[in-house]
């Protein structure tokens, strides 16, 4: 049997490696129009910035290595142009010599990846100082431009993963950075009350972030001199980075009748086979499905590409591996912050019809005496089943450990109660006695049973609608005077038992402290004294003030 793979980055080489491990009998051939194979595409921004000294570190393997290790033939700079599936034959062109070639197959794999999108204004342009980060060669061009032209200003278009990673690296090289974003906030896949914390980091680092601003027209000849935005602003920079997302390279597959899914990428079954027998699709060109909803999604991540490749390589050679979906787990470093997400956001969960409990949990990764630093954990749970639906975390350290725990537990369908009972590792250099994961479970369990939470946004909506509510700040008077929730009265917890009788038990009551713990204690006091409807403000005053600042 002959397996022919189009594409040799993450997914394609994973298919080949697993298929070869399963069988020495099959002939395996890979064609790729690029010059490099199996490279670490996610490391490119850090090579541009010099954090990774040499691009060669991102390309540890070449075609000769693969041939020797796996007996797989890889042909780089070979573009497959056409496929005759009835004859099971491909034809293409050697991009260096111009020679034409043909080959045949028994099984065909599309690992053709994705292509960066460009804003409409750039569709027909070709400027020497405009770049997209899409492969090793494009990354080298950016770095060469920086080293040779010594730019002092840059405009980055897009505030997703690539946009923020490149912006960080440019700023670290002393380049002044402006980020333009189509939406209101960076990292638009996060809930807005989390992404605003990234905006604060931009201010701290001197990044000029311009939301809801897009490029409408360009001024320049061979070099882009100026852009004009939808707000009429004229911006001039030495270099421009386009990072507005990617689209799957599906044209070749469509030419033989391969069907796309609802998410716009190639639809497959759980073996990664398409609607056409003996034709597979893996990596950025393929659609995934969500572990929680079961619905198609497009989340082009290197981790998923490698996983898909292994599964397809196993399944096509008689193995039992099957694709089980994704949670869309992702993580990003942006200066002093780590930003991570897994599962459904609050917005996504509500759109799916879930009635949710939402917790904002502000906890240090380890004790203060071990220099712990606070992270913000936003967790979303289903009120009906108590299942954890999704988590977002932002903080300076310890975020990666927690998001992986949450991703594991969400995959297994655990409830809020289960989180508390997990036996997690503890020692002062690594965690607190009640790890932020366990504390999230505790607080969510309370919220789902006897001690409901209210989000700052929902409280603001009540105030906006002039609801008849009581808001109690249970901190000390000094903290209250510094800042407090609009229309809140100050009754410290130590005085609450005595003064509770002066309050209207029938009114909806919201209590809060700085971050939530004392608020919960105050909530319990009022509940025990017969108050009918008492809510604890999720994340306390600290979370409220952050959201209030960005709501003005």
* CA atoms within a 13 Å half-sphere pointing along the CA-CB vector of 76: 15
Q: Is 31 exposed, middle or buried (0-12, 13-18, 19+ CB in 10 A)?
A: buried
Ordered alpha helix ranges (H), 23-149: 44-49, 63-70, 136-149
Q: Report residue 513 CA to chain centroid gap.
A: 31
Task: Verify whether residue 42 is a known catalytic residue.
Answer: yes
Cα torsion 187, 192, 194, 195: sign: positive
Q: How far is CA 274 from CA 2, 20, 271, in A?
A: 18, 21, 9
**C-beta of residue 8 within 8 angstroms of C-beta of residue 80:** no
Largest CA distance in the chain: 90
Rounded distance between C-alpha atoms, residue 196 and residue 442, angstroms: 26
The residue whose two tokens read 């369908």 is 413
Q: Is 22 exposed, middle or buried (0-12, 13-18, 19+ CB in 10 A)?
A: middle
Rounded distance between C-alpha atoms, residue 285 and residue 111, angstroms: 6
Q: How many residues belong to the chain?
A: 552
Q: Report residue 335 CA to chain centroid gap.
A: 16
Nearest CA to 342 out of 369, 377, 370 is that of: 377
The b/e string for 338-377 (b: 16+ C-beta within 10 A; e otherwise) is bbbbbbbbbebbeeeebebbbbbbbbbbbeeeeebebbbb
Q: What is residue 401's three-state secondary structure? A: helix
Other CB atoms closer than 10 Å to residue 204's CB: what's the count? Answer: 11
DSSP annotation string for 425-463: ---TTT--SS-HHHHHHHHHHHHHTTS-EE-HHHHHHHH
Contacts of 383 (CB under 8 A, 6+ apart): 354, 355, 356, 357, 448
Other CB atoms closer than 10 Å to residue 475's CB: what's the count? Answer: 23
Rounded distance between C-alpha atoms, residue 307 and residue 310, angstroms: 5
**C-beta of residue 82 within 8 angstroms of C-beta of residue 91:** yes
The catalytic position among 1, 42, 121, 228 is 42
Would you name the residues annotated as active-site residues?
42
């Amino acid at each position: 049997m002959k397996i022919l793979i189009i594409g040799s980055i993450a997914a394609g080489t994973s298919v080949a490696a697993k298929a070869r491990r399963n069988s020495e009998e099959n002939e395996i051939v890979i064609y790729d129009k690029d010059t490099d194979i199996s490279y670490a595409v996610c490391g490119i921004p850090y090579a541009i910035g010099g954090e990774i000294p040499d691009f060669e570190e991102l390309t540890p393997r070449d075609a000769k290595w693969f041939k020797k290790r796996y007996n797989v033939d890889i042909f780089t700079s070979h573009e497959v142009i056409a496929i005759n599936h009835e004859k099971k034959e491909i034809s293409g062109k050697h991009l260096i010599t111009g020679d034409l070639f043909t080959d045949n197959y028994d099984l065909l794999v599309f690992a053709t990846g994705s292509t960066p999108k460009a804003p409409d204004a750039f569709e027909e342009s070709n400027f020497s100082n405009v770049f997209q980060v899409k492969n090793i060669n494009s990354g080298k061009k950016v770095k060469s431009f920086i080293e040779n032209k010594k730019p002092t200003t840059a405009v980055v278009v897009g505030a997703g993963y690539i946009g923020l990673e490149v912006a960080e690296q440019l700023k670290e090289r002393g380049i002044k950075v402006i980020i333009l974003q189509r939406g209101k906030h960076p990292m638009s896949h996060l809930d807005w009350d989390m992404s605003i914390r990234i905006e604060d980091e931009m201010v701290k680092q001197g990044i000029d972030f311009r939301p809801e601003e897009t490029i409408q027209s360009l001024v320049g000849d061979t070099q882009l001199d100026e852009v004009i935005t939808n707000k009429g602003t004229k911006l001039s920079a030495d270099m421009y980075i386009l990072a507005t997302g990617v689209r799957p390279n599906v044209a070749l597959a469509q030419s033989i009748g391969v069907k796309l899914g609802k998410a716009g990428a190639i639809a497959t079954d759980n073996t990664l086979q398409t609607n056409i027998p003996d034709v597979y699709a893996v990596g950025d060109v393929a659609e995934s499905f969500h572990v929680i909803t079961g619905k198609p999604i497009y989340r082009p991540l290197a981790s998923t590409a490698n996983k898909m490749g292994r599964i397809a390589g196993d399944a096509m050679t008689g193995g039992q591996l099957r694709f089980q979906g994704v949670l869309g787990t992702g993580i990003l470093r942006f200066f002093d912050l780590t930003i991570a997400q897994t599962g459904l956001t609050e917005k996504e969960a509500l759109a799916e019809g879930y009635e949710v409990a939402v917790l904002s949990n502000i906890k240090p990764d380890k004790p203060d005496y071990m220099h712990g630093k606070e992270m913000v954990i936003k967790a979303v749970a289903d009120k009906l089943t108590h299942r954890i639906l999704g988590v977002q975390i932002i903080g300076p350290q310890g975020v990666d450990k927690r998001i992986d725990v949450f991703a594991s537990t969400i995959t297994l369908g655990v409830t809020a109660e289960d989180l508390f009972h997990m036996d997690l590792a503890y020692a002062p250099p690594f965690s607190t006695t009640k790890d932020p994961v366990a504390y999230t479970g505790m607080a969510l369990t309370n919220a789902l049973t006897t001690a409901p939470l209210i989000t700052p946004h929902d409280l603001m909506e009540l105030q906006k609608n002039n609801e008849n509510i009581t808001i109690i700040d249970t901190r000390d008077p000094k903290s209250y005077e510094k800042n407090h929730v609009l229309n809140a009265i100050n009754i410290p917890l130590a005085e609450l038992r005595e003064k509770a009788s002066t309050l209207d038990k029938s009114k909806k009551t919201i209590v809060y402290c700085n971050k939530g713990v004392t608020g919960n204690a105050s909530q319990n006091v009022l509940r025990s004294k017969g108050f009918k409807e008492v809510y604890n403000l999720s994340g306390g005053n600290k979370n409220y003030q952050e959201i209030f600042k960005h709501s003005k």
